[in-house]
């Protein structure tokens, strides 16, 4: 028997789906030339080790495997705010690496990033905040 998802679980699923969809749509628009300048990141996050596509792919796969392992082991982590954004950012950038061999970046700050990178940063911040709050008993 399959259990029904609770409202918080459904909310996390919707956040994940919307975050992935927003990243994919903006990358499609970027590739079509609608969003201006493009950068093809063959390295790891924030264009570190650019030109080393195999390192970027290995890092992405390792990070996802670690996140999956942590989620399997910790119910508290599975319920953490920000987790859907971490999954969305990681999986969307991994899809780029597997399909194109690089990540499509189109937002220039100091370096080039994309929405998935923003999801990863925001998800990480929310996760750290959650961990500190739990450590303080809140």
CB atoms within 10 A of CB 136: 7
Question: What is the tally of structural domains in the chain?
Answer: 1
What pTM was computed for the model? 0.87
> Is position 65 within any domain?
yes
Residue 74: which pLDDT band, with cuts at 50, 70 and 90? confident
User: Once rounded to an integer, what is the mean pLDDT over residues 22-34?
Assistant: 95
Catalytic residues: 105, 117
> Is position 5 within any domain?
no
User: Once rounded to an integer, what is the mean pLDDT over residues 41-51?
Assistant: 78
User: Once rounded to an integer, what is the mean pLDDT over residues 116-132?
Assistant: 93
Tell me the C-alpha distance between 112 and 52, whole Å. Answer: 16
> Is position 137 within any domain?
no
> Is position 54 within any domain?
yes
pLDDT, averaged across the chain: 89
């Amino acid at each position: 028997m399959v259990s029904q998802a609770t409202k918080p679980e459904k909310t996390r699923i919707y956040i994940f789906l919307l975050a992935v969809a927003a990243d994919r749509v903006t990358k499609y628009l970027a590739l079509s030339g609608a969003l201006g300048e493009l950068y093809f990141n063959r390295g790891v996050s924030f264009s570190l080790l650019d030109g080393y596509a195999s390192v970027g792919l290995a890092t992405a796969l390792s990070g996802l495997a670690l996140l999956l392992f942590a989620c399997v082991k910790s119910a508290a982590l599975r319920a953490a705010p920000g987790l859907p954004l971490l999954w969305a950012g990681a999986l969307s950038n991994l899809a780029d690496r597997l399909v194109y061999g690089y990540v499509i970046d189109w937002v220039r700050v100091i370096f080039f990033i994309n929405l998935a990178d923003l999801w990863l940063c925001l998800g990480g911040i929310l996760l750290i905040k959650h961990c500190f709050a739990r450590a303080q008993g809140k």
